[in-house]
A and B are shown apart, each in its own frame.
Chain A
Amino acid sequence: MDENLFYWQAVNIALDRAMEEDPDVFVMGEDVGLYGGTYRATENLMAKYGELRVRDTPISENSFTGLGVGAAMTGLRPLIEIMTLNFALLALDSIVNLAAKIPFMSGGQFPVPLTIRMPGGVAKQLGAQHSQRLEHTLMNVPGLRIAVPFTPQDAYGQLRQAIRSNDPIIVLEHDLLYFSKGAVDLDAQAPPMHRAIVRRAGTDITCAAYSLMVAEALAAAETLKESGISMEVIDLRSLSPIDWKCLQQSVEKTHHMIIAEEDSGFAGAGAELAATVQERCFYSLDAPVSRVAGMNIPIPFNAALESAAIPHAADIVVAAKKMLLERSQTS
């Protein structure tokens, strides 16, 4: 049964159901309890499950994340909320050196069934310290899996999958998605966590995007349609591992590919996507893969500059037209 839900509600219901289903699931983070979470994602959970299972923490990101690792090693399924991704920098030791390494270094004796949720991305004038993405930082760590749900349906489904999995998994949510709305079927069989989904079919060019950028890509596709250009939009849904097959199939059909990412392009997620797609599909491509990405500067506070530092639908439109035009001129 479909319900029209806010993204934050989908997260909230996912947590509620996961906790109901499995008494080993607990939630921990700053202001997740009494306060209900900065984006309301943990609202009412403390009242329902008590303090042991919904724990407000001191501002000690590295240690409460590491605490989650220790709890996971002893069979619990912690859901750690880091208030925003920017603060996860203080927890990188627990994420990178503990969660991602222990299952391997222990020779498989200690799985770490830990899920870490965090909002990130450029919101509205939060300043350079509160506007980071850092996907690449986490993607470069073997042993971590990264889900980037765009729709409320995925926010629900992928979070449930992450909590059930025995691997450490990062769920990156976008600040600006919490109050987006979408149909959610709570009982639907979710697609596998890392499968990419074609959100809009097209024939001339492929645009791969994730998280909030999928919205920009879809808007761009609508605009391009007016110019007779049919753009396929792929929602990656996951940044580690990546569903290369889906990308490959699309590129073999459209022969053109654009990657849209909010993060700064330099050494970012798009660099990995472009390199691998070119390795895999070089002979299917009619043009070099192009990246539409954030500028390589700290995100400015000034509203106009902030907006100009990250890609929008119009930038994707320009990039798509340029790529197709160049092709038609050379052929």
Chain B
Amino acid sequence: MDHERLQGFLYDMLLARAFEERAAQEYTQGHIAGFLHLYPGEEAVAVGSIRAAEPSDYIVSTYREHVHALIRDIEPKKIMAELYGKSTGVSRGMGGSMHLFDKERRFMGGYAIVGETFPIAAGIGYSILYRHLPEVVLCYFGDGAVNQGTFHESLNMAALWKLPVLFICENNHYQIGTEIHRHSAVVDVYKRAASYAIPAEQVDGMDVEQVYAHTHSALDRIRAGGGPYLLEFQTYRYRGHSMADPGAYRPPAEVRAFGGQDPILLATRELARHNPPSKSAQASDPAMDVIQQHIDKGFAAGHWQQEDVATMKAQIQQILDEAVAFAQSSPSLSMDDAVYLANQNHAHEVLF
């Protein structure tokens, strides 16, 4: 894989991580409220898969979707402003953290009811089929969502009508506090696709290169008229389910083990492949420390990386400072805005 792409992945993941940590900070300080589901640990999935997609493809995501939006190149400040509920947010402040929408980037929403992404994606797929376009819908969902009826209903219809949908399972092994072996009789999510004759694979979701490669070939196949496809990415979230969840149900050893597979660590190591790291790569303590440690290791691996990564981090810091400042200084919403929106689509109609 070429150097530039790997660097791009690293930048994306650093941005993703930093954005989420900043959001957590804003939440803790009381600047933003509500449900806030963060993505640290899972970055390779969104980065590898969305970077493999075309701008003409569609993204349908869940409530854990800030990073999908970021990687779709929605401006960080517009996402931050949405978390703040400001009119300058990507959904004009009407959606919030769990409902990011951007028509221009074909970002078709974050959905907060588990299992809703399936029918929405099927419907967009139906539109694509209807118009005979070479486009694909990337449909994200968690391991917990596959026990919802819509998973089965929608996969069946997608297969039946050969809808161009790539189903992407972000298997972080938990549905809030319930581990996968306690919520699913079959823990290999990809196997379920066989019931609908949908080809599927299980892929290491901590390795951004693999995520990219498998997504790319799946998209090619769908675009060529092959019908739906399912990718199960094995991943892990380092934080609790949401900011309201301390995540006490997971053994520390498990969190540490996955911390050792930190996707940012892996990408940094790839950049540093030819030079041995200067420090030990031990995954010792909580995830954040692990990442920092291994990013440092990457710096040491080669001068260009060090410069690049330092520049990246500085850039990202500045972008996030600006994003927060933008969100804070943006005008608030009025009830008139809400009422206007509620009536906008029939404003031209005579109702009575």
Q: Does B231 contact A (CB under 8 A)?
A: no
**A84-100: contact bitstring with B at CB < 8 Å (1 yes, 0 no)?**
00000000011001100
CA distance A167 to B343 in the complex (A): 9
Q: Does B296 contact A (CB under 8 A)?
A: no
Q: For B352, give its contact among A75, A97, A143, A192 (CB under 8 Å).
A: A192
The answer on a CB contact under 8 Å between B352 and A245 is yes
Q: Does A34 contact B (CB under 8 A)?
A: no
The answer on a CB contact under 8 Å between B95 and A66 is no
Please report the total number of A residues contacting B with Cβ < 8 Å: 50
The answer on a CB contact under 8 Å between A66 and B352 is no
Q: What are 15 A-B contacts defined by CB distance under 8 Å?
A: A62-B119, A67-B154, A69-B123, A70-B122, A70-B127, A71-B123, A104-B94, A104-B338, A104-B341, A107-B101, A109-B91, A111-B345, A165-B346, A165-B349, A192-B352
Inside 8 A of A60's CB, which chain B residues have their CB? 149, 153-154, 156-157
Using a CB–CB cutoff of 8 Å, the interface residues on chain A facing chain B are: 26, 52, 55, 57-58, 60, 62-76, 78, 93-94, 97-98, 102-111, 142-143, 145, 165-167, 192-195, 241, 243, 245-246
Inside 8 A of B127's CB, which chain A residues have their CB? 70-71, 74-76
Closest to B351 in A: A194
Inside 8 A of B121's CB, which chain A residues have their CB? 70
What's the least CB distance linking A276 to chain B, in Å? 15
The answer on a CB contact under 8 Å between A66 and B351 is no
Please report the total number of B residues contacting A with Cβ < 8 Å: 49
Q: For B153, give its contact among A63, A76, A78, A97 (CB under 8 Å).
A: A63
CA distance A106 to B345 in the complex (A): 12
Inside 8 A of B150's CB, which chain A residues have their CB? 62-63, 66, 93
B89, B94, B119, most chain A CB atoms within 10 A: B119
The answer on a CB contact under 8 Å between A107 and B123 is no
The answer on a CB contact under 8 Å between B124 and A106 is no
The answer on a CB contact under 8 Å between B126 and A105 is no
CA distance A106 to B100 in the complex (A): 7
What's the least CB distance linking B348 to chain A, in Å? 9
Inside 8 A of B119's CB, which chain A residues have their CB? 62-67, 69-70, 94, 98
The answer on a CB contact under 8 Å between A52 and B130 is yes
CA distance A128 to B156 in the complex (A): 30
The answer on a CB contact under 8 Å between B352 and A107 is no
CA distance A103 to B60 in the complex (A): 15
Inside 8 A of B126's CB, which chain A residues have their CB? 67, 70-71, 76
The answer on a CB contact under 8 Å between A58 and B157 is yes
The answer on a CB contact under 8 Å between B123 and A102 is no
What's the least CB distance linking B234 to chain A, in Å? 26
